[in-house]
Structure 1
Amino acid sequence: MLKLERARSGNPVGPIAIIGLILIPLIIAGGMLLATWQSDTRLGRVQAAIVNQDEAVELNGQLVPLGRQLAGALVEGDPDDAEAPNFDWVLSDEADAADGLASGRYAAVVTIPESFSADATSYAANDADSARSATLDVKTSQVSGIADPVVGQAIAAAAQTAVNKQLTEEYLKNIYVGFNDTGKQFQEVADGAGKLADGAGDLAKGLHQTSDGTEQLAGGLAELDTGAKGIAGGIRDLDKGVGQFADGAGELARQTRDLPVQVGQLADGARQSAQGAGELADGTAKTAEGAGQLAKGIRDTAKGAGDLAKGADAAAQGTGELAKGARQSAGGARELAKGARGVADGTTELAKGMRQTAGGTKELAEGARGVADGAEELAKGARKSAEGSRDLSGAAEKAAEGATDLSGGADELKAGAEKNAGGVRKYAEGVRDYTEGVAGLDRGLNQYRDSMEELAEDGIACPDEIPESACPAFKAGFKAGAGAAVEGLERKQDGNPSLIGLSGSLAEGGPELADGGDELAAGAKELSTGIARLVEGVGGFAEGLQRLAAGNLGLADGLEQLAGGGDQLAKGSGQVAGGIDQLAPGLDQLAAGADQLAQGSAQLAGGNEQLAGGLDQLADGGDQLALGSGQLADGTKALAGGLDQLAVGGDQLADGTGQLATGTKALAGGLDQLAAGTGQLAEGMPALSKGIGELAAGAAELKTGTAQLSDGAGQLADGTGQSAAGAAELSQGVVQLAAGGDQLADGTTKLADGLADGAKQVPSYTAADRTALADVVSTPVTTERPDQAFADSATTTFLAVFALWIGALATYLIVQAVSSRVLTSMKSSVRIAVEGWLPGVIIAAVQSVVLAVMLRVLLDLSAGQTAGLIGFTLLGGLAFVAVNHALVAWFGGVGRFVSVIMVVLATAGAITAAVPAVFDVIRPLLPLTPALDGMRAIVTDGPGVSSAILSLLAWLVVGLGAGLLAVARRRILQPLPAEAT
C-alpha cells in the first residue's frame, strides 16, 4: 500500500490533506470564477462620481451645455442598450469626490472642466489657431477593486467617444450640407455662366451687326467727308462772293443814304416845276390868245392906218369929215395909246419873264437831263442789282434747300450718332458688368478651389480615439468630394483650358476690354458732340440762307420798283428836257418879239399920242389940218410901217406863244409825269432805303454767317475726316471685337458646360445620406462590445491552468517528492519516482476532470470539445506534476520558489499583453504557456492544439526524466543539503 509522507516531517499524509490538496486549487479557481463571472452585470454596485464644472456656451444663438450632456450620457449609459453595464454615477462636487476617492467609496471620479463646452465647440469658428480639444480629468481610487478603475476609465472613454461622435456627426452633417450648398452654388454659377454664354452670344451677334453698321457708317462718313469738303470749298467761294456782295451792299447803302432826301427834294421841285409849268402853260396860253388878239388888233390897226392914210388923203378933200374923223381918231388914238402903253408895259414884263423863264428852263433842262441821266444809271444799277439779288436769292434758295437736305441728313446723322453713342455706352456698361462678373467669378472659383484644395489636403483631424490606421478612411469622405471638385476645376478637356485657367484669362482680358469699351464710348460721345455742333451749324446756315433769300427777293422787288421809277423819271426828265429845249428857242424868239412889240407899242403909243395931239390940233384948228394931214400922212405911213412890223412881230409872238404854249403843255405833262414818278420814287425810297439798309445788314450778317459757316464747314470737313478715319478704325476695332465676342461666346459656352459638368460631379446628400455618412465617418471602425469586462474563455482557461499548476505546486508542498527512505528502500529508482509522481497524478486527474466539467458548463462546450478538453487538461496536469516534482526533487524549497516565479510570469503574460519585452522572451519557455494556448484553442476551436500537445509532452518527458534523475541522485551516498523550509 502506498504511503504518502509529509514534506517537512515525513509523517504520513492523511485523507483530509489529500482532499484539501484536491479542493484548494478548485476553490481558488471556482472562487475567482464566481467573483469575475458576469461581473459586468453588477457594475451598478460600483459608485463613481461626476464633478461638472462646465459653463455652457451659446452657439448660433443656441445654448450648448456639453458638460451637462456628457454627465447625462454617463448617468444614463448606452441609450441604444438599456441593459448595458454602467457604474452608479453620482453628481458630486470636488470635496465629496476627493473624499470618496480617498476612502474607496468612488472607484473613479470624472471632472468636467469649466472650459469643456467652449473648447469642444471651438472648431465652429473655422479658425485653426483658436481651435482646441476639450479634456476630461479621470481619476481612479487607489483603494478600490483592481478592475474597477479600468472599467471606470473605459466607461468615461466611451462617454467621451459618444460626445465626440455626436459633435463630429454634426460637423460632418454641416460639411455635407456645405457640399449640397456648394453643388447648388456651383449649379447657380453654371447657370450664370450659361446666361453669360447666351449674353456673350447675343453680344457677338450685336457686335457683328455693329461691325456691319460701322462699315456702313465708315462708308457714309467717307462720302460725307467728300461732300463736306466740297461744301467747304463752295462755302469758301460763297464766303468770298458774299464778302464782295456785303461790301457792295454797304457801299450802295452809303451812296444811297441821302437819296431819299434828294429824291424828296426832286419830287418837291418836280411838283413845283409841274405847278409852275402849269401856270406857265396857262399864262402862255393866255399870252398866245393876247398875242393873237394883238396881232389881229395890229392888223386891224395897220388896216386902219391904211385907211387913215386914205382918210388923210381924203381929209385933204374934206376937212369937215377930217375934223370929225380927227376928233374921233383923237379919241381912238388916246384909247389906242392907252392900249399901246399897256401892251408895251405887258410886253416889257413879258420879255423880262420870258428871259427869266428862258434862263430857268435852261437850268431846268440841265437838271432834268442830269435827273434823266441819274435815273437811267439808277435804273440800270437797280436792274443789275435786282438781277444779282434774284440770282443771289435763287442761289441762296438752292443753297438753303441743300442746307435743309443737309440739315435733315445731319439730323439723321445726329440721331444715328446718338443711337450709336447710346448703344456703345450700353455696350461699355455691359462690358464693364461682364468684366466685374468675370473677375468675381475668377475670385470665387479660386477661393472655392483653395478651400477645396485645403479640404482635400488637410481633411479633418482624426479624433483621439480613432487609430491612425483608420484615419485615411476617416478622411476619405472629405477628400473625395473636395478632390473631385478641384480636379473638375483644373481638368483640361480636348486641349481646352481648365475652368480656372479660362476664368483667369477672362479676368485678365476683362480690364482691357473695359478700357476699349470706355474709349469706344468716349469716341462715340465726341463723335455725337461734333455731329451735334455740325447739325447746329448746318441749321444756322440754312436759316441764314433762307433769310438771305427772302431779303434778296425783297431787295430785288424794291430794285425793280426803283428801276421802273428810274425809267419813268428818266423818260419824264427826258421829255421835260426836250420840252424845255423846244421851249427855250421859242422863249428866246418870244422875248425878242416881245421886245420888238414893246418898242412898237412904245412907238405906237408915241404915235398915238402924237396922233392925239395932232387930232387935237386938228380938232382945234383946221388950219393946221393940211400941215397935220401931211404930217398925219407921214405919221400914218410910218404907223403903217410900224404896224406892219408890229403885225409881223405879233405873228411871231403868236407863233412863239403858240410854241410856248405847246412846250409848256408838254412841259406841264412831263413835269406831271416827273412829279408822279418822283412821288412814286419818293414813296418807294424809304422802302428802298430800308431794303438797302436791311440788304447791307443782311449782307453783313450773311458775311458773318458765311464766315462762321466757312469755319464750321472747315471744322465739319475736318470732323468728318476724323470721323471717317475714326469710323474706319472703329470698324476694324469692332471687327476684332466681334471676333473676340465669338471667342468669348465659345469660351463662356465651354465655361458653362465645364461648370455644369463640375456641378454634376459635386456630391449631393439627402438628410438620410448625411446622417448615415456622418455616423459612418464619425465612427469608421466599430467593434462588437463584449458582454463582460473579461472574456469568458480567456478567464476560465487562465483560471483552469492556474488551478492545475497551483494544485501540482501545493501537492509537493504537502507531500514529499522523494521518499525519505530512498536510500534504504529496496525498490527501484523508477518505482520510487512513480510513487512520488502518483499523488500528484491522482490529484491532477481529479482536478482536470472537475475543471473540464466546469468549463463545459460555463462555456457551453460541445461533447467533442469537452472530451478533448478533459484529455488536454489531464495532459497538462501530468506535465505540471512532473515539472513541479522535478523542481522540488532537485532543489527542494528553491524549486518551489522557482515554481511560484514561473506561475507569476505565466499569469502576468496571460492577464495582459502589455508587459515588458522580457516577458515575451520568457513566456514561450514556460510550461504554462502551451497549456493555456492549447486549452484556449480547444474551447474556441482555434489552431495551435497540436503544437501545444507536443510542447506539453516535451515538458512531461523533461519533468519525468528530471524527477527520475533526482531520485537516482538521492540514492547515492553523499551529504544531503539541508531542505529549505
Structure 2
Amino acid sequence: MNSLTNRTRPRADGDRRFPVRRRLLPVLGLLLVPLTIAGLLSWSLGSAEERLTDVEAAVVNHDEPVKVDGRSVPLGRQLAGKLVGDEITSNYSWEFATEKTAEEGLRSGKYVAVVTIPRNFSAAATSFSRDPAQARQARIDVTTGEHSRFADEAINRYVTSTAADLLGQQLTTTYLDNVLVGFNSLGDQLGDASAGASSLAGGAEQLASGIGELSGGAEQLAQGSRELAGGLGELENGAAQLAGGLDQLREQTAQLPQQATALADAAARESKGVQQLSKGLSTLAGNLQDLRKQCPPGIVPLCNKIAVQAAIAQKLDKGAGQVEKASTGIAGGLAKMAGRAPDSGGGLPALAKGVGKLSDGAEQLHSGISRSHDGATELSGGAEQLASGIGELSDGAEELSNGTEELSSGLKQATEELPTYPEEQRQTLADTVAEPVTTSNGTKVEVGGTGLPMYAVLALWVGALATFLVLRPVPARTLESTRSSLVLTLRNFALPVGIAIAQGVLVAAMLGWFRELSLGDWVATAGIAALVAVACTAVNHALAAALGGAGRFVSMLGALIVVANGFVSAVPAVLEQLAVALPTGPALNALRAVVTTGTAPSGGAIALLVVWALIGPAVSCLVVERHRTVRPAQLLATYGVRGHRLGTT
C-alpha cells in the first residue's frame, strides 16, 4: 500500500508546486465565463429595440388615391408616412424605394424587410363608406430577405401591423367622429321635427275644430238638400199640372182662329147691314122732315106725328151709326183676332202657336224640374254621406291632433335623451371607441428585455460546466486519503462553490445594471443568483464526477434546453417538461420573480434549488466513495505493466 501511495503522491506534490498566479488565472477565467455570456447576451439582446433604428427596411407604395365626398384620400401614402414617421416607438429605419431597388436591397441584405402597398389599398380601405356589399379589407405584403434573423420577421409583422392599426384607428376615429357629428345633427333635426310636430299638432287641432264646424255645415247642407228635394217635388207636381193645363189650352185655342174669322165675317156683314139701315133711316128721316114741312095745316096732328117719327128716325139713324161704328170696330177687332189686319201681330193663330210653344216649354220645364228633383234627391243623399264622412273626418282629425301631440312629445323626449358631443368630447370618445384597449408600453416592443433572467441562468449553467472543465470533479488523493468521502467531497466542492457564489454576484451586478435595480432588489437578486449558481455547480459537479465527458455532454444538452425554452413558449411538450425538471426551471422562476416583476420568489422554487444544491454533493460523495475502491485488475493494469511487485518500497 505504501508503494501505491508513493506512486500517487508525486502528482499531488506537483499540484502543490504550482505558483499561486497560475492557480488564480483559471479561477478568474471561470468567473469571467458566466459574466461574459450573460453580459454579451444582455448587451446584444437586452435592449435590441433601441437599435432597431440602425436596421433599414423599405416601403414600396403602388397605391392610387381615391376620392371620398369629393376629397382625395391617399391612404397608401399615409400608411407609408406612419412607417417612416415617429409614431411607432420601436421601429426600423424605413425608406421609400421602388420595387426593383427593394428586391435588390433584400438580396444584398441592405433591407431586412420590404412592405409593398398595392394599387387598390385606398379603394379597399375606404370601401366601407360606399356600397356595403362591396366592402373589403385592405391588405399589404410584407417580405423578409434571406439575410434576416429569426426574430426579424416577427418584428416586421409587429411594426407593419402597428402601422396598419394606427391607420385603421385613424379611419375608425374619423368615421366615429362623423357618426357623433351625425348624432348632433340628428338632435338638431329632431328638435326641428319636434317643433314642426308641435305646429302640426296645433294645425291638426285647428283642423279638427274646422272640420267640426264643417260637419255642422254639412248637416245643414243635408237638411237644405232634403228641403230642396221636397220643394222641387212640389214644383214638379205644379209643372206637371201647368203642362196639362197648357195642353188643354192649346187644344182649346187651336179652333179660336177659325171661330174668330167666322165672327169677323159675320161682323163685317152686320156692319154693312147696319150701314145700309143707317142710310135708310137717314133717308127716311130726311123724307119725314120734308114731309112735315110740306104738311098742310089741316093735317097738323098727322104732321106732328110725322115729325115725331122723323125725330125717331133721326135718333135711330144716330143709333144705327153708332151700331155701325161698333160693328165696324167689332169686325176690325175680330179681323185682328183672326190675324187679318197688318197690325194684328198674328192674332189668335199666333196665340195658338204661343200656347203650343208654352205647352212644349211647360213639358220641358216639367222634365227639367223632374231631373232637378232627382238631382236634389241624390244631393240630399250625398250631403248626408258627406255629413257622415265629415263626422268621421272630424274624429280622425282629433286622433291626428292627439297623435301629433304624442309625436311632438316623443320627439322632444328623444331630443333630450339623444346625446350631444362637443368637439373635445367627440374626439376623446372617438379615440377611445376606435382603440378601446391599449397596452402600457404603447407601440414599443421589447425584443430581449424579458430574456435577462434566461441569459443569467444560461450563463451560470455554462459557467458551472466550464468550472469542471478546469477543476477536478473528483479529488486526486481519494485512495490514499484517510478522510471520509464526505469530507473529501466537501473540501473538493468548496472552491467551486466559492467560484459559483462569485459568479452569481457578478451576474447579479450585470442584471442590476441593465435593469436599473434598487439596492434592495439587487441584494435579493444577488442572493437568488448565488443560490442558482451553487445549484448549477452542484449538478454539473455530480455529472462530471459520475459520467465524465458524457456528463459534460448532458450538461451541454441542458444548456440547449434552456435556450430552446427561453426564446419562445411554443416548444414541444417534452422540452417544456425537461425544462421544469432541470434545476434551470426553478432558477428561471426565481430570477424572473425578482428581476422582472420585483416580487419575492416562490418558496417552491427556492426549495427546489436547495434540493438540487444538496443532491449534487450527495451524488459526488457516492462517486468519491466508488473511486476509493480499487479492484486487483486495476492495480495489475496500473503497476504490473511496469514490472513492480506489490509491497516493495
TM-score band, normalised by the shorter chain? 0.7 to 0.9
Distance 2:548 2:375 in 1: 131
Cα distance, 1:666–1:929 mapped onto 2, change above 3 Å: same
Match of 2:272 among 244, 263, 269: 269
Distance 2:587 2:381 in 1: 108
Does the Cα contact within 8 Å between 1:260 and 1:689 map onto a contact in 2?
no
- Please give the per-residue CA displacement for 1:316-374, whole angstroms capped at 9, x wherever unaligned: xxxxxxxxxxxxxxxxxxxxxxxxxxxxxxxxxxxxxxxxxxxxxxxxxxxxxxxxxxx
Does the Cα contact within 8 Å between 1:280 and 1:664 map onto a contact in 2?
no
Distance 2:563 2:261 in 1: 150
- State the AA in 2 paired with 1:288: L
Name the structure 2 match of 1:198: 202
Distance 2:81 2:585 in 1: 44
Name the structure 2 match of 1:968: 625
Does the Cα contact within 8 Å between 2:57 and 2:93 map onto a contact in 1?
yes
Distance 2:548 2:473 in 1: 9
1:248 lines up with 2:257 in the alignment:
no
Distance 1:197 1:651 in 2: 123
Distance 1:95 1:14 in 2: 61
Higher RCO structure, 1 or 2 (CA under 8 Å, sep 6+): 1
Residue segments in structure 1 that go unaligned for 5+ positions in a row? 300-646, 977-981
Does the Cα contact within 8 Å between 2:45 and 2:449 map onto a contact in 1?
no
- State the AA in 1 paired with 2:429: L
- Please give the per-residue CA displacement for 1:450-509, whole angstroms capped at 9, x wherever unaligned: xxxxxxxxxxxxxxxxxxxxxxxxxxxxxxxxxxxxxxxxxxxxxxxxxxxxxxxxxxxx
Matches within 5 A, 1:834-845: 834-845=490-501
Residue segments in structure 2 that go unaligned for 5+ positions in a row? 1-8, 635-649
Matches within 5 A, 1:647-686: 658=307, 661-678=310-327, 680-681=329-330, 685=336
* SS of alignment partner, residue 142 of structure 2: strand
Identity of aligned residues (%): 34
Distance 2:248 2:281 in 1: 50
Name the structure 1 match of 2:288: 288
* SS of alignment partner, residue 776 of structure 1: helix
Name the structure 2 match of 1:120: 125
Matches within 5 A, 1:182-197: 182-197=186-201
Cα distance, 1:113–1:282 mapped onto 2, change above 3 Å: closer
Does the Cα contact within 8 Å between 1:818 and 1:889 map onto a contact in 2?
yes
Distance 1:199 1:10 in 2: 120
Cα distance, 1:917–1:741 mapped onto 2, change above 3 Å: farther
Distance 1:969 1:253 in 2: 180
Matches within 5 A, 1:829-978: 829-939=485-595, 940-973=597-630
Distance 2:627 2:272 in 1: 199
Does the Cα contact within 8 Å between 1:836 and 1:885 map onto a contact in 2?
no
Shift, 1:188, TM fit: 4.5
Does the Cα contact within 8 Å between 1:285 and 1:657 map onto a contact in 2?
no
Name the structure 2 match of 1:106: 111
Shift, 1:875, TM fit: 1.0
Matches within 5 A, 1:507-522: none
Does the Cα contact within 8 Å between 2:58 and 2:102 map onto a contact in 1?
yes
Cα distance, 1:725–1:101 mapped onto 2, change above 3 Å: same
Distance 2:350 2:628 in 1: 174
Distance 2:524 2:413 in 1: 66
Cα distance, 1:923–1:292 mapped onto 2, change above 3 Å: same
The CA RMSD over aligned residues, in Å, is: 3.3
- Please give the per-residue CA displacement for 1:814-836, whole angstroms capped at 9, x wherever unaligned: 22211344334333211222244
Shift, 1:268, TM fit: 6.6
Match of 1:155 among 155, 159, 177: 159
Name the structure 1 match of 2:639: none
Cα distance, 1:724–1:790 mapped onto 2, change above 3 Å: closer
* SS of alignment partner, residue 569 of structure 2: coil
Distance 1:915 1:786 in 2: 28
Using the TM superposition, name which of 715-724 and 111-120 deviates more.
715-724
- Please give the per-residue CA displacement for 1:140-180, whole angstroms capped at 9, x wherever unaligned: 23323444443333222221111111111222222223333
* SS of alignment partner, residue 158 of structure 1: helix
1:227 lines up with 2:231 in the alignment:
yes
TM-score (norm 1): 0.57
Which structure carries more helix by proportion? 1
Distance 2:453 2:243 in 1: 132
Shift, 1:47, TM fit: 0.8
- State the AA in 2 paired with 1:113: P
Cα distance, 1:236–1:826 mapped onto 2, change above 3 Å: same
1:29 lines up with 2:38 in the alignment:
yes
Shift, 1:212, TM fit: 1.7
Distance 1:819 1:726 in 2: 132
Match of 1:771 among 427, 430, 438: 427
1:706 lines up with 2:362 in the alignment:
yes
Match of 1:144 among 145, 148, 165: 148
Cα distance, 1:63–1:230 mapped onto 2, change above 3 Å: same
* SS of alignment partner, residue 148 of structure 2: coil
Distance 1:696 1:950 in 2: 150
Distance 1:253 1:242 in 2: 17
* SS of alignment partner, residue 781 of structure 1: coil
Does the Cα contact within 8 Å between 2:54 and 2:93 map onto a contact in 1?
yes
Distance 2:443 2:17 in 1: 50
Using the TM superposition, name which of 178-187 and 836-845 deviates more.
178-187
Name the structure 2 match of 1:780: 436
1:42 lines up with 2:51 in the alignment:
yes
Shift, 1:884, TM fit: 0.9
Name the structure 2 match of 1:72: 81
- State the AA in 2 paired with 1:88: S
Does the Cα contact within 8 Å between 2:271 and 2:331 map onto a contact in 1?
no
Matches within 5 A, 1:325-474: none
Shift, 1:107, TM fit: 1.2
Does the Cα contact within 8 Å between 1:108 and 1:140 map onto a contact in 2?
yes
Matches within 5 A, 1:553-568: none
Does the Cα contact within 8 Å between 2:292 and 2:307 map onto a contact in 1?
no
Shift, 1:251, TM fit: 3.3
Match of 2:69 among 51, 60, 64: 60
* SS of alignment partner, residue 473 of structure 2: coil
Distance 1:90 1:193 in 2: 60
Name the structure 2 match of 1:470: none
- State the AA in 1 paired with 2:245: G
Distance 2:63 2:448 in 1: 40
- Please give the per-residue CA displacement for 1:843-884, whole angstroms capped at 9, x wherever unaligned: 211112222222333323222222222222111111111111
1:208 lines up with 2:217 in the alignment:
no
Name the structure 1 match of 2:171: 167
Distance 2:59 2:17 in 1: 60
Distance 2:138 2:52 in 1: 27
Match of 1:733 among 389, 392, 396: 389
Name the structure 1 match of 2:3: none
Does the Cα contact within 8 Å between 1:792 and 1:859 map onto a contact in 2?
no
Cα distance, 1:958–1:230 mapped onto 2, change above 3 Å: same
Distance 1:70 1:787 in 2: 15
Distance 1:231 1:30 in 2: 129
* SS of alignment partner, residue 256 of structure 1: helix
Using the TM superposition, name which of 724-733 and 110-119 deviates more.
724-733
Shift, 1:656, TM fit: 8.2
Name the structure 2 match of 1:380: none
Cα distance, 1:293–1:867 mapped onto 2, change above 3 Å: closer
Distance 2:222 2:182 in 1: 55
* SS of alignment partner, residue 374 of structure 2: helix
Shift, 1:682, TM fit: 5.8
